[in-house]
Amino acid sequence: MVTLSAIFTPNQPPEQIIPVAAAAEAAGMAHLWVWEDCFKESGIAAATAMLATTSRLTVGIGLLPVPLRNVALTAMELATVSRLFPGRLMPGIGHGVLSWMGQVGARAESPLTLLREYTTALYALLHGETVTTRGRYVSLDDVTLDWPPAVPPPLLVGGVKPRTVALAGELADGVIISSGPSPDEIRATAAHFRASRPDDAAAGDIVVFTRASADSPACDIAAKVSEFAAAGATHVAVNADEDDADLERFVALLAGEVGPLVRSS
């Protein structure tokens, strides 16, 4: 069964975070997603606020741009949030928008190399390992988290191109497809991701981000979600059109009207 969720996009002001999270939980939604755009809201801060003001909601972050953050700091932040709210965080990391990375002086010459080194180190740190590495971009010397997560969060990687999807399959717990994909693209990405999994690894998560209008008929949104699920998506996260500021109404639509149609299909 696919998990249906909403996305709180950073074009909404931070003061809307808490009422939207409360509305999502009150409507019975199990997951809510945030993402981090330059130069808007911190994904980790937004996720923490949502978790702190709800009791059941799982919050996903997609994506944290790795060029912006030292991997040890990201591990410390995610470990802290995971210990405070065990089993309720799903962080995702990615290349970041290259033009934004250039604006802050963090653009990598080889984004894929950076993502590989970063994902490897972050996964190990979150699982309580001691990491020493001398990579092109990531350098750690005998680093261990004092407070690793009691329940390590699933680590997701954003990607649509084959080499990034293969990296996600090899090194992470799931892949986030965030570019408005078609069902055929989802099917191909899911197959490529799972073909890259180690033999002893779980199947992993295929998270798809898509867009819908709050004025769309619930049956139309449900049909799209079901089509994505049939193509291999395990999670479908929906964000409202940018001119729709009433996210409380939107999450109520998804949870109260779209969700039952998806479950019955």
In a domain, 234, yes or no: yes
Which residue reads 């049909």 in tokens?
Answer: 223
Q: Residues with Cβ < 8 Å from 182, sequence gap 6 or more?
A: none
Within a domain: 199: no
Rounded mean pLDDT, 205-225: 93
Q: What is the mean pLDDT of the segment spanning 66-77?
A: 97
How sure is the predictor about 146, in pLDDT bands with cuts at 50, 70 and 90? very high
Confidence of residue 171 (pLDDT cuts 50, 70, 90): very high
Whole-number average pLDDT of the chain: 94
User: How far does CA 120 lie from the centroid of its chain?
Assistant: 17
Q: Among the listed ranges 25-29, 128-132, 149-153, 239-243, which one has the minimum average pLDDT value? A: 239-243
Question: Which residue, 52, 4, 60, is CA-closest to 28?
Answer: 4
Kindly state whether residue 192 falls inside one of the protein's structural domains.
no
Mean pLDDT of 126-154: 97
pLDDT for residue 115? 98
pLDDT score of 200: 81
- Bridge-based pairing state of the strands 139-143 and 131-134: antiparallel
Mean pLDDT across 245-260: 90
pLDDT in the model for residue 262 = 92
Domain that holds residue 100: 3-155+215-264
Domain membership of residue 62 (yes or no) is yes
Instruction: Rank 78-92, 166-180, 243-257 by mean pLDDT and report only the highest.
Output: 78-92
Q: What is the pLDDT of residue 180?
A: 77
- Distance between CA atoms of residues 138 and 92, nearest Å: 18
The model's pLDDT over 6-21, given as tens digits with 9 standing for 90+, comes to 999 898 899 999 999 9
pTM of the entire structure?
Answer: 0.95
Give pLDDT, residue 45: 97
Mean pLDDT of 89-105: 94
Q: Is residue 13 part of a domain?
A: yes
Please report whether residue 195 resides in a domain: no
Q: Is the pLDDT of residue 245 over 80?
A: no
Structural domains counted in the chain: 1
Neighbours of 251 (CB within 10 A): 28
The rounded Cα 16 to chain-centroid distance in angstroms is 20
In 151-242 the beta strands, taken as DSSP E runs, fall at 156-158, 174-177, 205-212, 235-240
Question: Residue 161: inside a domain, yes or no?
Answer: no
The mean pLDDT of 199-213, rounded to a whole number, is 91
Count of positions (residues) in the chain:
265
* Residue 219 belongs to domain with CATH number: 3.20.20.30
**Mean pLDDT to the nearest integer, 254-258:** 93
In a domain, 208, yes or no: no
- Other residues' Cβ atoms within 10 Å of the Cβ of residue 72: 16
Strands of the chain, DSSP E:
3-8, 31-34, 58-65, 89-94, 131-134, 139-143, 156-158, 174-177, 205-212, 235-240
